[in-house]
Structure 1
Amino acid sequence: MDGSVVALLLVAVVVAAVGGWAVATHNSFARQRRILTEAWGQIDVELRRRRDLVPPLAAMIAGDLPAAADLAGACERCAARAGAAAADPAEQARRENALTAALGRLLAAAETSPRLSGAEAFARLHGELTDVEDHIAAGRRFYNAHARHLNARLETFPAGLVARLSGIRPAIYFAAEDPAVRAAPAAAFEDRELRRGR
């Protein structure tokens, strides 16, 4: 075998290795995007569950506390805005944060009513809301962890080059704006129930 054949074989092996690595890297990024899409789908289910709880909760509180009718209406409007299609998780987060803040104000108003805090229907809705908030927080952590991993890989070389050539863009985080918004809006009730020894 002469030197030119050996050189051609070496070039062919190198090209095949680089090509195989590029395909494997692309497929790895595609898997990561699929995980993000599935994680977002789970968050979306919980966000819809939370929005579905707003009308009965708002009606119950406004029915018992006529002074809270404006807060109940504002909460329902926030829920409607949050339910509209958003451009990306960051926009959805802004809308959901507004809903969380509105729910917090509404529940703070409801805290002034001894009848509501003792009502079984209100306790059930409150429990469902707390459960949903916990699922949203867990989903947010899962989604953001995978978004962070994808974004970190996009910044590495040469994998980031393959991603850019494949049109893969950085993931957008889904995060609460501030620590007050991150807390479940029902926390005031939970604290009060603990103080009362329930």
Structure 2
Amino acid sequence: MIFLLIILLLILAGGAFVLGQYNGLVKQKNLVQESWHQVDVELKRRHDLIPNLVNTVQGYAQHESGTLQDVMKARSAAMNAGSPHEAAAAEGELSQALGRLIAVSEAYPDLKANQNFIALQNELTATEDRIASARRYYNANVRELNTKIETVPSKFFAGMAGATRADYFEAEDAALETPNVQFGPGGASAAPQVSFDPNAGQLPASTQPPAATQAPPAAAPEQIPTPEPQAQPVQQPQQPPQQPYGQ
């Protein structure tokens, strides 16, 4: 009887262990799917902002059709991307195209001052921040799932749970930096745009402020020799003249 009870306890313990491994893999697989959904929502928000941004720029920069077409092509490729790996590559191309689009605004002061353009650019920046946050959460869950699949004992139950390795979303969104703007001979006169690397700690040599001209050292005041004190003659006390004796 005791032997049968021990066997029953071992079976129950083994079943609980298998069930725990299975449930852990299923839970982690679902977390990966849910976190990718969050990334996808923010990516779609980004894609939805682009047409309005392109239309706003087009109203002021009709001659930038090539840049505008590149943005729309990159957007289409990003929307049609399948796996996270493909989406990462497509979103990287879209970020570069958006960077060139934003750079166009530097040559059009009226566009830079347009309130709709400013609002869209701010919304795009906020969306980029949310994408970065969602990406970190997704990649953390992918790392956890892949670790479970590759390590013992959970790797033996991955097939049972239908868990497979997931792809990381490793796209680093390119910063929307403004490059140098070149004005043609007939263009409006403007101060040259200078790119500044915050990590370098100084401006390029061509833009360094001129060093302050050092004034020649002031001439030292003439040294007036101090007269040495002269010894004063010692005055002997005067004695009264002696009277002749007997007078």
TM-score range, shorter chain: 0.7 to 0.9
Which residue of the other structure, out of 15, 23, 26, is the alignment partner of 1:27? 23
User: 1: CA distance between counterparts of 2:108 and 2:69?
Assistant: 18
Structure-2-length-normalised TM-score: 0.67
Matched residue of 1:111: which SS?
helix
Question: Contact conserved, 1:151 with 1:171, CA < 8 A, in 2?
Answer: yes
Q: Which residue number corresponds to residue 171 of structure 1?
A: 166
Find the counterpart in structure 1 of residue 203 from structure 2. Answer: none
Change (3 A) 1:188 1:26: farther
CA drift at 1:21: 1.0
- Paired with 2:38 and 2:175, the residues of 1 have a C-alpha distance of 18
Show the counterpart of 2:147. Answer: 152
Query: Matches of residues 123-162 of structure 1 in structure 2 within 5 Å?
Result: 123-162=118-157
Correspondent of 1:60 among 42, 56, 60: 56
Using the alignment, how far apart are the partners of 1:67 and 1:137 within structure 2?
33
Cα displacement (A) at 1:27: 0.9
CA contact (8 A) 2:21 2:154 kept: yes
Point out which structure has higher relative CO (alpha carbons under 8 A, 6+ apart).
1
Paired letter, 1:109: V
Which of 113, 118, 136 is matched with 2:113 structurally? 118
CA distance change for structure 1 residues 114 and 74 in 2, over 3 Å: closer, same or farther?
A: same
Report the alpha carbon displacement of residue 131 of structure 1 after superposing the two structures with TM: 0.7
Matched letter for residue 125 of structure 1: L
| Contact 1:58–1:73 (8 Å) recurs in 2 | no
C-alpha offsets along residues 67-126 of structure 1, whole Å, 9 cap, x if unaligned? 321111110121122112x33111111111111111111112222222222111110000
- 2:229 aligned residue: none
| 1:141-178: CA deviation from partner (whole Å, max 9, x where unpaired) | 010011111111222101111113433101111111xx
Percent of pairs with identical residues: 36
Superposition RMSD on alpha carbons, in Å?
A: 2.0
Q: Which has the higher helix share?
A: 1
* 2-structure distance, mates of 1:83, 1:159: 35
Aligned 8 A contact 1:39 1:143 in 2: yes
Q: TM-score, normalised by structure 1?
A: 0.83
Q: How many residues align?
A: 181
Separation of aligned partners in 2, 1:87 and 1:73: 22
Where do 5+ consecutive residues of structure 2 fail to align?
180-192, 197-247
Match of 1:81 in 2: 77
Asked if structure 2 preserves the Cα contact closer than 8 Å seen for 1:75 and 1:99, the reply is yes
Give, in whole Å, the separation in 2 of the partners of 1:157 and 1:11: 25
Asked if 2 retains the 8 angstrom alpha-carbon contact of 1:75 and 1:103, the reply is yes
When structure 1 is superposed on structure 2, of 119-128 and 163-172 the one drifting more is: 163-172
Contact 1:133/1:184, CA 8 A, preserved across alignment: no
